[in-house]
Amino acid sequence: MEGNHMKGAKYILTAAVIAMSSVVMTGCFKPSKDAVVESKYYQSLKDERDKLSVQLKEEKKKTNSLNKKIKAIHATSGDQKIADYKSRVKDSRIIKVDFATNTIKNQSFAVTNIPVCKYVKKIVTGCNRMIGITPTDVEKRYKQSYSYALIDEDNTTFEFKVYGDSYIVFDEIPENVYAYNGASTVGDALIDAKEQKNYSNVAARIADAQIVVTDKKMKFNDTAIKVSKIIEKAKKLSGKDATLDIASWNEYRFYTSGTLTKILLGDRTVIGIEDKNGKQTFYQISDKQKKNLKKYMK
């Protein structure tokens, strides 16, 4: 009897061991959450992660601060560069300006006219920096650009590009964009347009002139429009009156997208108009029209 009892106890113990092994193997028995959290391994991982998280936040702050400082340095550097650049241009005697466009290769237009040189010089000294726009932005936005090169009496060259009506990027300060209202006006006037407009008469062409130039003055399209209205009402002369000595007459040059038209005015109430081919035509105007023409061009 005792032997059978011992044998039964062995069976029970063996079954218990098997049952426990089964629980462990099948995963039915899991350590508690508190036990995991309290484990040294988990705690060391958590401490390390928390420490790393703090370090990352600190590094991010440092990076943001550094980026701000870098931007500030660039801005200050750019501002100092343009200040120095403006000063150099202001102190220079500009004797010529070369104009070119990226849409017409191997073509440039050189101007020694003093009013034009002064105007382009004013573009440089009067421009302002644009924040939030990059040279890449304007290059992508505007397919056409003009190149202006100011040349002083020592042959020093100051070059910049003009995008759209007003945006400027200087060759010496390529990281910033500046602006001057009407910066493209001279380029529009002097450089041949890619597509030339056909005009029904000379008055219409004059009305579209971007600039009007004399040896002492440079005026803009509003003046050209006023003059065109005088031309519209002028009476064309013929016969011997159509050939006059204009050697002492004043000359007003109207530039329309690369095309030059000259208006000639002397002591008489007669004006001469010379087209781009040098052909001259004369018109009769009234005393009032002559006075107005002189006033517009004064």
DSSP H or E run through 6: helix 2-26
Q: So what's the pLDDT on residue 195?
A: 81
The residue type found at 297 is M
Grouping H, G, I as helix, E, B as strand and the rest as coil, residue 257 is coil
pLDDT value at residue 59? 66
268 neighbors 242 (Cβ within 8 angstroms): no
The reply to whether 154 and 182 lie within a common domain is yes
Residue 75 lies in a domain: no
Mark whether 220 and 282 lie in a shared domain: yes
Task: Give the residue from 289, 88, 119 showing the smallest Cα distance to 189.
Answer: 119
pLDDT value of residue 155: 95
Residue 76 lies in a domain: no
Predicted confidence at residue 168, as pLDDT, reads 98
260 and 178 part of one domain:
no
Is 249 within the bounds of a domain?
yes
Residue 108: how many CB atoms within 10 A of its CB? 13
Contact call for residues 212 and 256 (beta carbons, < 8 A): no
Q: Are 109 and 190 in contact (CB under 8 A)?
A: yes
User: 58 lies in a domain?
Assistant: no
* Angstrom distance (rounded) from CA 109 to CA 106: 10
The type of residue at 263 is I
State which residues form the domain around 129.
Answer: 85-190
Q: Is 155 left (phi over 0), alpha (psi -120 to 50) or beta?
A: left
Q: Are both 209 and 272 inside the same structural domain? A: yes
Asked if residue 25 belongs to a domain, the reply is no
Q: Are residues 178 and 241 in the same domain?
A: no
Domain count, the chain: 2
Q: Which of 130, 159, 190 is the last residue of a domain?
A: 190
| Assigned domain for 129 exists | yes
* Angle 187-190-196 from CA coordinates, rounded to 5°: 100
pLDDT for position 244: 79
DSSP character string of 168-207: EEETTEEEEEEE-TTTTHHHHHHSPPSSPPP-SSHHHHHH
Note whether residue 92 is domain-resident.
yes
pLDDT of residue 240: 66
121 and 164 together in one domain: yes
Same domain assignment for residues 223 and 268: yes
Mean pLDDT split into 10-residue runs, the chain, 298 residues: 48 46 47 56 66 71 61 60 95 96 88 97 96 95 96 97 97 96 96 88 96 96 97 88 80 96 94 92 95 94
Structural domain ending residue among the three candidates 190, 216, 248? 190
Cα 255–Cα 260–Cα 262 angle in degrees, nearest 5: 100
pLDDT (0 to 100) of residue 10? 47
pLDDT, position 78: 61
Question: Residue 65: phi, psi to the nearest 5?
Answer: -65, -40
Q: Tell whether 223 is covered by a domain.
A: yes
